[in-house]
């Protein structure tokens, strides 16, 4: 974990209302693991804002001191509005990498990634880390086609806006049916569970609750259970375990999302007690 004053290298509206920002942060670029996050001091606001590490790009590899990270964030309030207005060359105060990220169990071959809306943010970094060794399917659910993630599956990285995820099976789902299947990401989840060795998800609370109900039904019917890790997003104070402001109740006791997570096992969370 390191606090740094880092330069913005680009900032574009990648999806309507959603910004993709690249930051020159070499220390974080070479150490951040999928599912970890950073916190950003947004303007003059007291509390720092947490953001998943969306992509990482060590420019020359190793510990050369060169590298960037990307944030993918939705403009939802004054803090993210301020961040969306930062331009190339502006410097922002970041702290990270923080938290516990995703893990891949030995013996796994087929990984299913499930994103709801802006929940795509940490899963792209996971895909980039895993695609050379595993078979990946990525389900992205959004309200409409314009809100789907704009990635390249051709192997040609046309720009920082369209990272190459060649080899990843992309399955779009839209609520209005404008692209892919009509409905929610969880509506088609069962179609892939027999194939998947592990599931990784990030999205809204209702998505997690729907997945937890599916897991409970599978247990009751003695069906195959696929282990699922989720990245939980809650309000945070400090971001590193000092304030206990992000404490949640789990089957293993009280846990802090910033320090013990943000990645947890789906079935460990007591979902009826979680508020976001």
- pLDDT at residue 98 greater than cutoff 90: yes
249 lies in a domain?
no
Q: Is residue 247 domain-resident?
A: no
121 plus 75 within the same structural domain: no
Q: Do 78 and 151 sit in the same domain of this protein?
A: no
Q: In degrees to the nearest 10, what's the CA dihedral of 262, 30, 168, 133? A: -100
Q: State whether 73 and 141 are in the same domain.
A: no
Element containing residue 121 per DSSP (H, E): helix 120-130
Flag whether pLDDT at 153 surpasses 60: no
Kindly state the percentage of the chain with pLDDT values over 90. Answer: 72
**What mean pLDDT do residues 181-188 have?**
95
CA distance between the termini of the chain? 25
Is residue 85 located within the same domain as residue 132?
no
Q: Say yes or no to pLDDT of 59 above 50.
A: no
CB 154 within 8 A of CB 183: no
Q: Do residues 156 and 147 touch, judged by C-beta distance below 8 A?
A: no
How many whole angstroms separate alpha carbon 260 and alpha carbon 60? 32
Q: Are residues 136 and 81 in the same domain?
A: no
d(CA 119, CA 113): 10
Same-domain check for residues 79 and 41: yes
pLDDT at 223 over 80: no
Count of structural domains, the chain? 2
Of 90, 15, 5, 111, residue with least CA distance to 54 = 15
3-state secondary structure of 176: coil
In a domain, 261, yes or no: no
CB 69 within 8 A of CB 121: no
Q: Would the pLDDT of 152 be above 70? A: no
The Cα 54–Cα 160 span in angstroms is 12
Task: Tell me: do 117 and 56 sit in the same domain.
Answer: no
Q: What is the pLDDT of residue 222?
A: 72
Is the domain of 187 the same as that of 144? Answer: yes
Asked whether residue 7 falls in the same domain as residue 31, the answer is: yes
In a domain, 84, yes or no: yes
Q: Is 159 exposed, middle or buried (0-12, 13-18, 19+ CB in 10 A)?
A: exposed
Segment 42-66 mean pLDDT: 76
Q: How far is the CA of 31 from the CAs of 55, 144, 154, in angstroms?
A: 12, 35, 27
Range of the domain at 57: 2-98
Q: Which of 186, 207, 228 is the last residue of a domain?
A: 207
Question: Do 70 and 135 fall within a single domain?
Answer: no
Q: Are 87 and 167 members of one domain? A: no
Q: Evaluate if residue 165 carries a pLDDT over 50.
A: yes
Instruction: Give the tokens for residue 111.
Output: 């990984």
CA atoms within 13 A on the CB side of 188: 22
* pLDDT for position 161: 62
Query: Among 176, 192, 207, where does a domain finish?
Result: 207
- Residue 8 structure tokens: 């913005």
């Amino acid at each position: 974990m390191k606090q740094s004053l880092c330069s913005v290298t680009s900032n574009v509206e990648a999806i309507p209302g959603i910004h993709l920002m690249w930051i020159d942060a070499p220390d974080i670029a070479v150490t951040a693991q999928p599912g970890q996050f950073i916190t950003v001091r947004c303007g003059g606001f007291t509390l720092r804002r947490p953001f998943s590490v969306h992509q990482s790009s060590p420019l020359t590899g190793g510990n050369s001191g060169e590298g960037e990270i990307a944030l993918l964030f939705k403009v939802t309030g004054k803090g993210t509005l301020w961040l969306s207005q930062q331009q190339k060359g502006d410097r922002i105060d970041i702290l990270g990498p923080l938290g516990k990220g995703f893990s891949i169990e030995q013996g796994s071959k087929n990984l299913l990634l499930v994103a709801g809306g802006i929940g795509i943010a940490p899963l792209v970094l996971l895909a980039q880390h895993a695609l050379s060794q595993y078979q990946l399917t990525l389900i992205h659910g959004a309200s409409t086609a314009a809100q789907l993630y704009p990635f390249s599956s051709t192997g040609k990285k046309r720009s920082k806006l369209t990272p190459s995820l060649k080899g990843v099976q992309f399955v779009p789902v839209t609520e209005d049916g404008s692209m892919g299947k009509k409905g929610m990401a969880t509506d088609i989840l069962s179609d892939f569970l027999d194939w998947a060795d592990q599931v990784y998800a990030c999205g809204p609370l209702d998505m997690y609750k729907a997945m937890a109900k599916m897991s409970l039904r599978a247990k009751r019917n003695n069906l195959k259970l696929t282990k699922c890790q989720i990245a939980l997003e809650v309000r945070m104070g400090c971001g590193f375990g000092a304030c206990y402001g992000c404490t949640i109740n789990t089957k293993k006791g009280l846990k802090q999302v910033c320090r013990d997570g943000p990645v947890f096992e789906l079935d460990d969370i007591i979902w009826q007690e979680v508020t976001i």
